[in-house]
Homo-oligomer: A and B are copies of this chain.
Amino acid sequence: MGRVYLVGAGPGAPDLLTLRAAEILERAEVVFHDALVHPQTLALAAHALKILVGKRSGRLSTAQSFINKRLVDAARKHGVVVRLKGGDPLLFGRAQEEIDALRKAGIDFEIVPGVTAATAAGAELGVSLTRRGLARHVAFVTPRAGRGERENDWAASVLAADTAVIYMGAGLAEAISAELIGRGKPKATPLVLVESATLPERRILRGTLADLPALALKAGSGPAVLLLGEVLRDALADRAVVAIPEIQAHLRRA
């Protein structure tokens, strides 16, 4: 019986993987990965069978129950099985369904946390999500809910928080903007949409909460987060762009 590692691949750039994740990938015999995992990250698993089970909202994807079953089956045949997810597996990664299936089957597992898109996006903007005197609480939310789920009052969380980061929200821009403004969030609240954070194709679209639908129309199809709150005010000016890291240089050691 093997062990299953639920591993966070980080926000996009392959060198934002942790040392621990890299070491596990090098030993991996099987890797079940999402569509968004970078090819250079997958390449670290040089000896592994790589199986795409990726989920992307609105696209065809492997049913969760089938992924669960494959993880359990793989752990019965192999020593080191990796489930590699973009970002951090415990933030919007649907990890709990896999954890529960592994526990139920008596399979040993370990979770390797990763860098999540929210702080990666903040890093590219040069904006701290918290700030003494201005932002002492941050909400990470998604407005998406599956069929039959209980009501998801994501907006209450955004309204209560000093800073909010909305995951998987770019496709719901109209509804997000209308809901938050309708419930009293100022239209002029600074908002930045960061698409494909940390990757060469990343895009940064700046505006206000009222501009969100227009900004989302300009965005592409890459994964995006919306950052919202007073901490973003300085980032609305162009001067706030931070140098794009030299990814290749950092990867020399990977």
Interface presence of A223 (CB below 8 A): no
Interface size on A, as a range, is: 35 or more
Interface presence of A78 (CB below 8 A): no
With A137-B139, A139-B157, A140-B138 known to touch, is A253 a contact of B128 (CB < 8 Å)? no
Interface presence of A63 (CB below 8 A): no
> Copies per complex?
2
CA distance A148 to B134 in the complex (A): 12
Using a CB-CB cutoff of 8 Å, which residues 101-133 of chain A contact chain B? Answer: 103, 108-116, 119-120, 122-124, 126-133
B114 lies within 8 A of A19 (CB): no
| B-binding segment of A7-15, A28-36, A66-74 | A7-15
Interface presence of A249 (CB below 8 A): yes
A139 lies within 8 A of B142 (CB): no
B243 lies within 8 A of A110 (CB): yes
**Interface residues of A, Cβ cutoff 8 Å to B:** 3, 8, 10-11, 13-20, 22-24, 26, 88-97, 99, 103, 108-116, 119-120, 122-124, 126-134, 136-146, 148-150, 152-154, 156-162, 231, 239, 242-243, 245, 249-254
Can you name 18 A-B pairs with beta carbons within 8 Å?
Answer: A16-B18, A17-B18, A89-B128, A90-B127, A91-B128, A109-B243, A111-B123, A112-B123, A116-B116, A130-B142, A133-B145, A133-B149, A134-B150, A137-B153, A138-B141, A139-B157, A139-B161, A157-B160
